[in-house]
A = this chain, B = another copy of it.
Amino acid sequence: MTQELSVVGKRLPYWAAQDKATGAAKYTADIKLPNLLVGRVLTSPHAHAVIKKIDKSAAEKLPGVEAVITWEDIPHKLFNPNIQDITLHMPQAVIKDAYIISEKARFVGDVIGAVAAVDEATAEQALGLIKVEYDILPAVFDMAEAMKPGAPLIHDFAKNNISMHMNFPVAWGNVQDGFQQADVSVEAAFQTSKQHTAQLEPLSCIAQFDASGRLTVWSPNQRFFIVRSKLAELFDIPEGRIRVISHHMGGGFGKMADMGAEPICVALAKKSGKPVKVQYSREEDLFGTWTREAYIESGKLGARKDGTLTALSMSILVHSGAYFNRSSATAIVTMGSFTGLYRCPNVAAEMTAVYTNIPCSGGSRGYGVPEAYYLLEQLVDMTAEKIGMDPMAMRMKNLKQLGDPGLVGLPLETPTQEKCIRLGAEKIGWQEKRSRKKEDGNIRRGIGMATYLDVSGGQPFDIQDRNIEIKINEDGSANLYIGISDMGQNLLGASAQIAAEVMGLRYEDIHIVYGDTDYCSFDAGTYANSGCYQIGNAVMKAAAEVKKLILERAAGKLGVTPDKLDIRDRRILVRDNPSKSVSIGEISKDCIYNHAGQHLNIFGKASFSPAQNPYPTGAVFADVEVNTETGGVKVARLLLVHDAGRLINPATVEGQLQGAMALGIGYTLFEDYYINPRTGVLESNNYNTYKLPSTLDLPELEVELVEEPTPSGPFGAKGVGMSGIMGIPAAIANAIYHACGVRIREMPITPERVLKALKEKVV
């Protein structure tokens, strides 16, 4: 039945846009509760120190202070704030190395205590009254130093500060043979940077125990069902005695897929017996949460003279910082992306994770993937240059085709990479610009590209299961129950569009109940581009179940069999005689109020567990200008050609891609998470020093969409949230090389580094 779509594909308003515009949407900071205390954390000023003694008596005596906690007051259980450890099908990838509050500080900013008081000023004063005696230890901030024998040991179990070494478990072929078969081989190494996820809302949480001891936690988190399980484990409270509410979130960006202030907040609420809100300052959020993982990544590419790949290998040093968090997951994603983008018969990769005394790493948008392509796509360009081939042509030679295993092993459903590349090359004027004269005073112009595959979720490595319920109201409108939070990516809007399309309703007929463990069924959370593909599929299934019930009931009313019916714009009509019709509201009322009925309230429930993982794909083209006098790089044009499958809401897809493109430019050129190499202190600890690109720093973010519905997607949609960043760093780096002949080994590509490279090249 190829019926024209009436809701899906439309540029409808973002879900809850009005609430956000008017301030009616309540973020954690906006939530008021009676007797709500202010929680604040005490952090270590030392990068590495054992706490000999903490005297909290003065703080406790301060009027208005309701709780002071240190490591002695709370469950002493090792855990990992990366909540993927519960859902990842790789127990070997999990390290639990953190306590809610440690008795040993491992970085400047490590939490060593917390207070809850009646107001901010009292809490602040109380922090100052906690007397801590430290035994200061030597610290190490550099991975190479940390791995040397005799380096200060940060965690007892990790010899030479190496927490984990892993060979990529799904490698194939034999890389030694592959490199032998190669006509050329190229090697390179890069140091990627520790990008901070500059979400608007700093880490926030509220915890409250009710009279019966049941715990409610307001947690802006992308995986709040898993947060519930983690808290259950940490505090020995069964899941059913915990309710987690996660509504609006001031940006998730993968960061909010890890657990944040929840355990400390719960511990304070438990000790004080009152509700507590913990909200980090911007500085605390910068040094005290977690960033994109920094790598030293080295790789080798082997190819025949015609550009055909024969071998790919990579080795990553993962800079975990003080705690392991998701170092393994990130590295696995990087290794999968590096080895999986192109057809190549022999691939291998390995990772080593290293502790130092710097702030932690964790989830961030597209974690692991732009890092992989930064290395791979520069290697491709370097190889193409070596064999005298157009780098675009070399890419074309090695693209994956229909049915080929993609990044995660599952087959490509729609091989649209070539289409994206061709369209982009045409739009940007690739041929012309590759060969243009590059000089213009101090300005060197260059063009570069990169291609990418992305995922629609973490399957099959990670649990990505969804449960959706739909209830039809008396007026025919629907309540849609989705166990996710709203991180601003309009997934709820897309879900409403899908539900409305299937059930023949209008967008505004869908009321969404979400973000609450009490009212929604288990959901694995939205991350890794999983939302639209997986939630969308589950919504589609549940809506189809509802539609079936509606049609069955309507068939009885209209005197035909259900297969003779269509459902459209709130009505069910006889296909061959559309004047015979009945509204969904009438059917719903009939079910509810007509005694003889079997469906007393039309209700659909569906679970969805993905068997496929369609790959969003595309190509990025960067047109840059390098100022050889200042080292400054200006991105003059940035064009992304992307296939996200069917576009449920084109405006949302464009917005997601453009946001990620801006993030990619910041990551590549601007954002320098600068840690003082002597003290371990984060010096770029607010937005005056941690430089995010402003609109003036950004070109127009050009997006072209190749809309090829993917067979397993809801109406053909794939994931999209992270895709926009994937190829940006590599494309810009390749363009810079094209402009001025240098490759910058360390990110971000600041003017200082460009100048230095230019000088070294001249010499």
| Cβ distance A560 to chain B, nearest Cβ, rounded Å | 25
Q: Is the beta-carbon distance between A511 and B522 smaller than 8 angstroms?
A: no
From B240, B471, B511, B609, give the contact of A600 (CB < 8 A): B609
- Say how many copies of this protein the assembly contains: 2
Q: Are B522 and A600 in contact (CB under 8 A)?
A: yes
A589 CB to nearest chain B CB (Å): 9
- The answer to whether A521 and B240 touch across the interface, beta carbons within 8 angstroms, is no
Docked complex Cα distance between A240 and B466 (Å): 24
Report, as a range, how many residues of chain A touch the other chain: 35 or more
> Does chain B have a CB within 8 A of A643?
no
Among A48-56, A472-480, A488-496, A665-673, the stretch in contact with B: A472-480
Q: Binary interface profile of A, 578-612, with partner B (CB < 8 Å = 1, else 0)?
A: 00000001000000110101111101010111000
Partner of A239, one of B34, B477, B607: B477
Q: Assess whether A509 is in contact with B240, with CB atoms less than 8 Å apart.
A: yes
Chain B CB within 10 A, most for which of A467, A600, A609: A600
Stretch in A16-24, A112-120, A153-161, A734-742 with 4+ CB within 8 Å of B: A16-24
Q: Is A210 an interface residue (CB 8 A)?
A: yes
**Interface pair A598/B607, CB less than 8 Å apart:** yes
- Alpha-carbon distance between A473 and B517 when the two chains are bound, in angstroms: 9
List A residues 107-157 near B (Cβ within 8 Å).
none
- Known contacts A511-B518, A601-B607: does B477 contact A19 (CB below 8 Å)? no
Asked whether A763 is an interface residue with its Cβ less than 8 Å from the other chain, the reply is no
* Cα-based distance from A214 to B508 in the complex (angstroms): 11
Does A708 have its Cβ within 8 Å of any Cβ on chain B?
no
A483–B179 alpha-carbon span in the complex (Å): 68
A463 within 8 A of B: yes
Q: Is A212 an interface residue (CB 8 A)?
A: yes
Most buried by B among A511, A521, A597: A521
CA distance A49 to B602 in the complex (A): 48
- A460 engages B18 (CB within 8 Å): no
Q: Besides A214-B511, A600-B609, 19 other CB < 8 A contacts?
A: A18-B212, A24-B211, A32-B34, A89-B595, A229-B474, A239-B474, A241-B475, A241-B477, A463-B592, A463-B595, A465-B600, A467-B600, A511-B518, A513-B519, A522-B592, A597-B609, A598-B607, A599-B607, A605-B605
30 A-B pairs with CB atoms under 8 Å apart are A18-B212, A19-B211, A24-B210, A214-B511, A228-B474, A229-B474, A238-B585, A239-B475, A240-B475, A240-B476, A240-B477, A240-B509, A241-B477, A463-B592, A463-B593, A463-B595, A465-B592, A465-B601, A467-B600, A469-B469, A469-B603, A471-B521, A474-B522, A479-B518, A513-B518, A513-B519, A521-B603, A597-B609, A600-B608, A601-B607
**Chain A positions near chain B (C-beta within 8 angstroms):** 18-19, 22, 24, 32, 34, 86-87, 89, 210-212, 214, 228-229, 232, 238-241, 460, 463, 465-467, 469, 471, 473-479, 509, 511, 513, 517-519, 521-522, 585, 592-593, 595, 597-601, 603, 605, 607-609
